[in-house]
Amino acid sequence: MPSFRHLLPFFRPYRVNFMLTLLLVMGTAGINLWLVRLTAPLWDALTVHRDATMVAQTAIMMVSFFFVQAALSIWHLYLQAWISQHIVADVRRHVFQHLHGLSLNFFATRRTGELISRLMNDVGTIQVIATETPVDVAKHVVILCGATAFLIYMNWKLCVVIFFLLPLLALVGRLFGTRLKRLSLGIQDQTASLSVIVEEVVSNIRVVKSCVQGDFEQQRFSTVLSQVIALGLQRAMVLALFIPVITFLTFFAAAAVFFYGGSQVVRGTMTPGELFAFVLFAGILIGPAGSMARLFSKVKEAQGAMERVFGILAIQPEIVDTPGVSELPSIAGKIEVSNIYFSYQREQPILNGVSFVAYPGEVVAIVGPTGGGKSTLLNLLHRFYDPSQGAIFIDDRDIRTVGIEGLYRQIALVPQETMLFGGTIRDNIQYGNVSATDEQILEASEIADAHEFIQRSPDGYDTVVGEKGLTLSGGQRQRIAIARAIVKNPRMLLLDEATSSLDYESEMCVHKALFRVMAGRTVIVVAHRLTSIHHANRILVVDKGRITEEGTHNTLISHNGLYASLYVRGVAEREEVVQ
Ligand SMILES: Nc1ncnc2c1ncn2[C@@H]1O[C@H](COP(=O)(O)OP(=O)(O)O)[C@@H](O)[C@H]1O
Ligand SMILES: [Mg+2]
């Protein structure tokens, strides 16, 4: 079982306590056996010898054994819980750390709900394997071996009867077990689909409502629910049959033992106490035999969960520091994009040979139709992805040859869609630079044209936003994201339609303030409204993964190509709005 090997490193820190737990549980099981063994002399003292002192002695011995057993059992149960809690927390910590280290491509192809389920449910299932299973196995092995040894020692002929019947019980248990497991797996799958639907609907609630797809989603949910019910009922039926069948077989076995053992007692080859203890031993043998089968299916289930969790851990981030990278010193901000090609999926080229240079102090605007590859280009500049051909140089260094974190620290990217973190507005701005002072935060907010609305918020900069907090408009979120980028004090600022939710006047105002603070550094701005960037030093028109036009506003207008037509349309729309 290869997946168990992956779990071993997580065991290592707790191995001493784990061994102790195993010893404790084996001790508990041993005492348990001995307690059962003591019923024989007790029963004989009562029925055959009728000796009150003997009865009292045996009873006192049993009670003291019982106390020791209880103490050991409390200890082992606590220790077991302690270990499994720690292991599960360690695995969760590890998976979470791995997760946010993975490259963007990974997140583009996964559903959020699925990842959450891995981290929460699947890792939770590992708890079973982490300690419950080994501890139970240790206990059962002691009981199985001990009880068998006692049985053989007490009366081997009677044992033969039992060993004919036990495999039958095990076989029946197995048959039911396989069926139950298959049904449980089906139920798990369907329940997972339910959470995916809920996740999709909740995160797209506006789309669901606006497209009036509530009924459709309800239908989708109900269909899966009926499957869950059908499978759940099948499982209930199997369970309902399972218990009487096993009970019948158990009683049958007990009757056989009493019949054959009873005749031995009558003949005097066995004492009544021995028969009594014998039946008890045979009884405790059935328990572990059944539990082992159940454990086996639990392990199978947990193994599936582990494979999924370790499957994620096995995925390597695509963007990593290659050996021998150098730290990127503070950059001036010259960007050179040299004939890059890129595709997310192999067959679909997104960028087809893009080249341009941006010098420190320049504002380069990128415009073009939706889907042309503008955001992709920014992702590559930030090195969220690497180009499949060509290279990107910053200050004449290939960005693949410098440390990623050092690079990321000097770039700020403001995406079009901004989700805020739970916490205050101040926390959200400070996210860009944890050591930013209150003055820096205030200054950044002013540049981002956010100070005014923040001040008007109930608690100013200490207003809690996001879930369970103040809900901000798209434009307000964008302003906070811009302030976050400014406190980072980047050498390179990438704005990806970062002001699209602002009105024209405040967009112009933010742009002006931004370009002022970024003076001497490099700004690449993907513009949503062409009218807001005509003062850019250079404008690149990106269409179908290529730069089709390049120049200043005036040269592009006189060129009378795609830019000119987009611009004219933009102006016309604005005039319509103004009128
Ligand atoms: N993560 C992704 N995986 C696959 N294709 C993507 C991904 N992101 C964007 N694309 C595709 O790349 C193309 C360019 O997208 P994008 O760079 O976002 O364009 P723009 O920002 O110019 O509107 C689009 O066809 C889009 O469908
Ligand atoms: Mg885009």
Residue range 338-363: mean pLDDT, rounded: 92
pLDDT band at 524 (very low <50, low <70, confident <90, very high): very high
Q: Quick one: pLDDT at residue 164?
A: 80
Which atom of ligand 1 is least distant from the CA of 379?
17
Q: Quick one: pLDDT at residue 307?
A: 86
Answer yes or no: is pLDDT of 362 > 90. Answer: yes
Check for a shared fold between 1-154+302-318 and 332-410+492-501+520-579. no
**Using alpha carbons only, how large is the chain's radius of gyration in Å?**
36
Block residue for tokens 């193994």: 303
Residues 358/384, Cβ–Cβ less than 8 Å: no
Residue range 270-295: mean pLDDT, rounded: 81
Which atom of ligand 1 is least distant from the CA of 104?
1
First to last CA, the chain: 72
Which ligand number lies closest to the CA of residue 110?
1
Which protein residue has the closest C-alpha to ligand 1 atom 13? 371
Q: What is the mean pLDDT of the chain?
A: 89
Answer yes or no: is pLDDT of 96 > 90. Answer: yes
Q: What percent of the chain has pLDDT over 90?
A: 48
Distances (CA, A) of 97 to 3, 122, 398, 421, 463: 20, 16, 28, 18, 29
Answer yes or no: is pLDDT of 384 > 90. Answer: yes
pLDDT band at 486 (very low <50, low <70, confident <90, very high): very high
For ligand 1, whether the C-beta of 371 sits within 6 Å is yes
Q: Quick one: pLDDT at residue 63?
A: 94
Q: Quick one: pLDDT at residue 556?
A: 93
Distances (CA, A) of 361 to 334, 378, 382: 9, 18, 18
The residue to mutate among 105, 107, 350, having the most atoms of ligand 1 within 8 angstroms of its beta carbon, is 350
For ligand 1, whether the C-beta of 69 sits within 6 Å is no
Answer yes or no: is pLDDT of 314 > 80. Answer: yes
Domain 332-410+492-501+520-579: which CATH number of 3.40.50.300, 3.10.20.30, 3.10.50.40, 3.20.20.140: 3.40.50.300
Q: What percent of the chain has pLDDT over 70?
A: 98
Cβ atoms < 10 Å from Cβ of 385: 19
Which ligand number lies closest to the CA of residue 385?
1
For ligand 1, whether the C-beta of 372 sits within 6 Å is yes
Helix ranges restricted to H, 12-103: 15-44, 52-101
Q: Quick one: pLDDT at residue 144?
A: 87
Residue range 23-38: mean pLDDT, rounded: 92
* Antiparallel, parallel or unpaired: β 411-414 and 492-496: parallel
For ligand 1, whether the C-beta of 370 sits within 6 Å is yes
Q: Quick one: pLDDT at residue 502?
A: 87
Answer yes or no: is pLDDT of 87 > 70. Answer: yes
pLDDT band at 468 (very low <50, low <70, confident <90, very high): low
Residue range 313-332: mean pLDDT, rounded: 89
**Distance (Å) from CA 4 to ligand 2 centroid:** 44
pLDDT in tens, 221-264: 999 999 999 999 999 999 899 888 888 888 888 888 888 889 99
Q: Quick one: pLDDT at residue 128?
A: 77
**Distance (Å) from CA 341 to ligand 2 centroid:** 17
For ligand 1, whether the C-beta of 500 sits within 6 Å is no
> What string of H, E and C letters represents the secondary structure of 506-548?
HHHHHHHHHHHHCCCCEEEEECCCHHHCCCCCEEEEEECCEEE
Answer yes or no: is pLDDT of 2 > 60. Answer: no
Answer yes or no: is pLDDT of 570 > 60. Answer: yes
The residue to mutate among 367, 375, 384, 524, having the most atoms of ligand 1 within 8 angstroms of its beta carbon, is 375
Domain ranges in the chain?
1-154+302-318, 156-269, 332-410+492-501+520-579, 417-489
For ligand 1, whether the C-beta of 375 sits within 6 Å is yes
Residue range 202-230: mean pLDDT, rounded: 91
Q: Quick one: pLDDT at residue 579?
A: 58
**Distance (Å) from CA 375 to ligand 2 centroid:** 4
Residue range 380-384: mean pLDDT, rounded: 94
pLDDT band at 467 (very low <50, low <70, confident <90, very high): low
Q: Among candidates 406, 371, 395, 397, which has minimal Cα distance to 497?
A: 371
pLDDT band at 60 (very low <50, low <70, confident <90, very high): very high
Angle between helices 133-154 and 272-314 (to 10 degrees): 160
Q: Quick one: pLDDT at residue 248?
A: 87
CATH 3.30.450.20, applies to 417-489: no
pLDDT band at 306 (very low <50, low <70, confident <90, very high): confident
Answer yes or no: is pLDDT of 526 > 70. Answer: yes
For ligand 1, whether the C-beta of 373 sits within 6 Å is yes
DSSP string, 169-214: HHHHHHHHHHHHHHHHHHHHHHHHHHHHHHHHHHHTHHHHHHTT-H
CATH number of 1-154+302-318: 1.20.1560.10
Which atom of ligand 1 is least distant from the CA of 378?
17
User: Can you read off the two tokens belonging to residue 465?
Assistant: 């936003």
pLDDT band at 215 (very low <50, low <70, confident <90, very high): very high
